Structure 1
Amino acid sequence: MLVWPRNERALLSDRLSCCEPLPLEYLGGALRGDHDVTIHDLRIDPPLEQYALSHEPPDLVGVAIPYTTSAHVSREVSREARRLWPNVPIVLGGHHPTVSAEWLDGFAADWVVAGEGGAPLSHLAAELEAGRTPTPVLGLAPYDARTGLERDRRPKPAALNNLPMPDRSLLAHHRQDYFHSIYRPVSLIRFTAGCPYTCKFCSLWRMTDRRYLVKDIDRVLAEIADIDGQNLYVVDDEAFIQPARMLELADAIDKAGVRKRFHMYVRTDTALRRPDVIVRWAEVGLDSVLVGAESMTDEELSDYRKGTDPGQTRRALDLFHANGVKVRANFIVQPNWVDEDFARLSRTVEELQVDMPSFSVLTPLPGTDLYDESRSELISDNPELFDCYHTLFPTRLPLESFYHRLADLLAGASARTTPGVTSGADPSVFYYSDDSAFDEMLRSLRDGADWSRPREPERLSSTG
């Protein structure tokens, strides 16, 4: 059994965005044929206690820690699994233990997996099934010897073509429940992995040592053919790094008669380098892009090591709009901002005619250079605050004022009406959700100061 936790304490709740747990489907693909696999998505499925009343105990429980913000709730899931099935081995995995050993104390667990996870998890399952005591391999460590797994013993990134196909049949019964942004339902797919750029706030390039890994065109087409839905969220770090390949993929999609709506991440400089590729993708279904604009000042972009400039952002948005591609642009809010900075960003969003603006507070996520450089400056050690909506740095404004200004930004974004994106029935452009969920988010954000006040450390970790 592979378990995905709820986001019950996250500001961006499951009512605002709920994507399929694609990493668990990849693990299911790795285990397929040799083991019976169940994915239990606690965002949708009943609590484990209710499940246990009508099912035999599993032979192995995998608990995902998909984000740093999931550390506490995943810890509770592991303890509940241990209470229900005291003799069943428990293994942890996910993005967070792949990049950080922090906040991993106190779990009920026997093993930890890092990296893609398919090979080490298959090894663990095979050893347990054979009645042998599992031996550690690259990417797999006993829970009590996990320190260093996220560094020295994390497997190097493997060729994506060597990974098994994700087993989407495991969640076919939930396919209509998954959504993101304006796409409901939505399916996730990955064309590439890694990024050659070195943004200070991002951990993804460090996970692949700046390598950019791609899937063969035929493999991508096979995965697309395995998806029934129309809306595809391409979760690549940056899909368009190799423009010639993306042009070839677009032609192959067209030739195969695929008719989907694609949402992708893309850098502004990448788009401008080969505008013909964007034009071609718009012809074959590119419906919207997420652009990390981050800032419209050279100074801030330089500090982030973004490698782009404000002029590129303006020209890239013009390119997308000219081809009917909607833009979700993200902007970083600095903790040291004052009222005029918030007002400036609000004006910028209007001037750029961003279809779906989003905002994130500068967050030193574990596994990033920013975290390594600034961890001594953080005002809180609560992993639930690493959600890009709370500040972990001291603010120039009073803390209450900072969160009120941030909430005003989000409320202003939601109030905008964008042709082709919103309708009279649902004017929100922030996330595709019912109004009450977004209102609750704004109320929680305005109360953010209650979460972020400096306090004594609560590091649930082996810092290794």
Structure 2
Amino acid sequence: MRILLVWPRNERAVLSDELSRCEPLPLEYLAGALRAHHDVTIHDLRLDPPLREYAEANEPPDLVGIAVPYTTNVPVSRRASHEAKRLWPNVPVVLGGHHVTVSREWTDGFAADYVIAGEGADPLLTLIGHLERGTPVEPVTGLTPYEARSELRRTVKPEPATLNSLPRPDRSLLARHRNSYFHSLYNPVALVRFSAGCPYQCHFCSLWRITDRRYLVKEAERVVSELEEIEQRNLYVVDDEAFIQPARMLELADAIDQAKLDRRYHMYVRTDTALRRPDVIARWAEIGLDSVLVGAESMTDDELNGYHKGTSARQTREALDLFHSLGVKVRANFIVHPSWDEADFDRLSRTVEELGVDMPSFSVLTPLPGTDLYDEVRDQLVDDDPELFDCYHSLFRTRLPRDRFYDRLARLLVAAGSRGDGEETSDPSVFYYSDNDSFNRMVQAVRSGGFQEPSPPSGGAPLPEPELRR
């Protein structure tokens, strides 16, 4: 079969693809499962021409897969599905991706025939088998006809070694774009995955739900062999939390060292995980750990408890000291709460300076579909536009007038972006860095509280903060 896999582009996104554009690794995994028996094409609409131009130059596909990677992609993925049906009316369209895995919200109105949830390789192969035999598709784990999407189920207790059974990602299909994928200062960059899942239950996160808190791993030998196939020096490790199993990470570091792989890694790590085994972090610093993303979230223990983070402000300070002592740069992300007043914004500004965060980033508390937070507060939300679930818009009423709230958020970004001015360094002091006006346009979008056009302010008197589980 000729299979066309489509990755969408959101032209209105506040965080544009001029600031971060990573390869569509999930589609490369699917391609790895299919290429042995099928003709697969990955069409990345961020870099490739519109689908109508693809249709003019190529034979019709036998199956089209449309990714819905994030909630904010729902509208553009929906439009892509309709465009696919317009171009190839008789070709089945299947949806997949993170959003449809964790939520049924906003899944109406697609021009689709099937939906896949979770790790998509096996469900997609099952679907292809039915299509080739001409047999009807009934709802099974990970796959359902579109009209029965409310019945879609996914595997909730995967085995810990599940990732070992996955095919290798086929990166050859996007070789034409390899130098166009980047993440901040990591340009070009390749994505890799050592593990999946997380044993913690942060209130604002859905990742632990996908695996029912199970931690899925790849063997060190498998990881090294995949790394040897990647030409890029910069690697963004997309694990939910790579260092949960310290003995395994030491084994992997030794294997990478023995393979003499010269790589530069950007990885996520919890502060308590790092402090529990600083020797593991030190070993990774020796083999190329360049920066870490730390979910600092807040420097007040009350807020951290409300988020069910399971860490303390003291641990954040100690972890930053550890990373800096090893020469590892820190991107610390802080949650901006809609209930904040001027003093709270001032406090966060001082905190960033006091901690010496190398690359601060900020996100508005967002009740993402598929999280405990969303389930609890969905009736309190002031808007249900999926594009607003981007961590740069408040879905709650804000204590400050909304225009003032967004101005203070924009000022945080501006201050972070100017921290390195006058210093001789090639590294940006804000993570979403650009060498053109992309960052300035992002700041303007944040300041306006909209996308490309300013939104009218709708602020008012101070309000009680949203009810969060304490």
| TM-score, L = length of structure 2 | 0.93
**What amino acid is the match of 1:244?**
A
Distance 1:452 1:205, change over 3 A: farther
- State the shift of 1:418 in Å: 8.2
Distance 2:203 2:293 in 1: 19
Distance 2:254 2:188 in 1: 26
| TM-score, L = length of structure 1 | 0.94
- Comparing 36-45 with 165-174, greater Cα deviation is found at 165-174
Match of 1:26 among 24, 29, 32: 29
2:447 matched residue in structure 1: 446
TM-align CA RMSD? 1.7
2:418 matched residue in structure 1: 415
Report the 3-state secondary structure (helix = DSSP H, G, I; strand = E; otherwise coil) of the residue aligned with 2:256: helix
* Number of residue pairs aligned between Structure 1 and Structure 2: 450
CA contact (8 A) 1:392 1:452 kept: no
Residues 1:112 and 2:115 aligned together: yes
Residues 1:3 and 2:12 aligned together: no
- State the shift of 1:223 in Å: 1.1
Distance 2:134 2:36 in 1: 19
Identity percentage of aligned residues: 70
State how 1:220-239 maps to structure 2 within 5 Å.
Answer: 220-239=223-242
Task: Give CA-to-partner distance per residue, 1:73-128, whole Å, 9 cap, x none.
Answer: 10000000000111110000000000000101110000000001100101112222
**What amino acid is the match of 1:212?**
Y
Task: Give CA-to-partner distance per residue, 1:201-225, whole Å, 9 cap, x none.
Answer: 0000011101111111111111111
Distance 2:372 2:273 in 1: 23
**What amino acid is the match of 1:433?**
S
1:211 matched residue in structure 2: 214
**What amino acid is the match of 1:82?**
K
2:246 matched residue in structure 1: 243
Report the 3-state secondary structure (helix = DSSP H, G, I; strand = E; otherwise coil) of the residue aligned with 1:92: strand
State how 1:98-177 maps to structure 2 within 5 Å.
Answer: 98-149=101-152, 152-154=153-155, 156-158=157-159, 159-177=162-180
Distance 2:182 2:170 in 1: 19
Distance 1:157 1:419, change over 3 A: farther
Distance 2:137 2:393 in 1: 41
State how 1:45-444 maps to structure 2 within 5 Å.
Answer: 45-149=48-152, 152-154=153-155, 156-158=157-159, 159-417=162-420, 422-423=425-426, 429-444=430-445
CA contact (8 A) 2:6 2:45 kept: yes
- Comparing 130-139 with 310-319, greater Cα deviation is found at 130-139
Distance 1:4 1:171 in 2: 12
**What amino acid is the match of 1:210?**
R
Distance 1:142 1:68, change over 3 A: same
- State the shift of 1:134 in Å: 3.3
Distance 2:351 2:313 in 1: 11
Report the 3-state secondary structure (helix = DSSP H, G, I; strand = E; otherwise coil) of the residue aligned with 1:3: strand
The structure whose RCO (Cα within 8 Å, separation 6+) is larger is: 1
1:12 matched residue in structure 2: 15
- In structure 2, stretches of 5+ residues that fail to align are 459-470
CA contact (8 A) 1:198 1:205 kept: yes
CA contact (8 A) 1:333 1:362 kept: yes
Distance 1:103 1:452 in 2: 25
- State the shift of 1:415 in Å: 0.8
CA contact (8 A) 1:182 1:421 kept: no
- Comparing 445-454 with 316-325, greater Cα deviation is found at 445-454
1:461 matched residue in structure 2: none
- State the shift of 1:343 in Å: 1.0
Distance 1:420 1:89 in 2: 55
Task: Give CA-to-partner distance per residue, 1:396-415, whole Å, 9 cap, x none.
Answer: 10000000000000111111
Distance 1:205 1:162 in 2: 20
- State the shift of 1:453 in Å: 6.9
Task: Give CA-to-partner distance per residue, 1:186-214, whole Å, 9 cap, x none.
Answer: 00000011000000000000111011111
- State the shift of 1:153 in Å: 4.5
Runs (4 or more) in structure 1 with deviation over 6 Å come to: 418-421
- In structure 1, stretches of 5+ residues that fail to align are 455-464
Distance 1:438 1:225, change over 3 A: same
Match of 2:43 among 40, 43, 68: 40
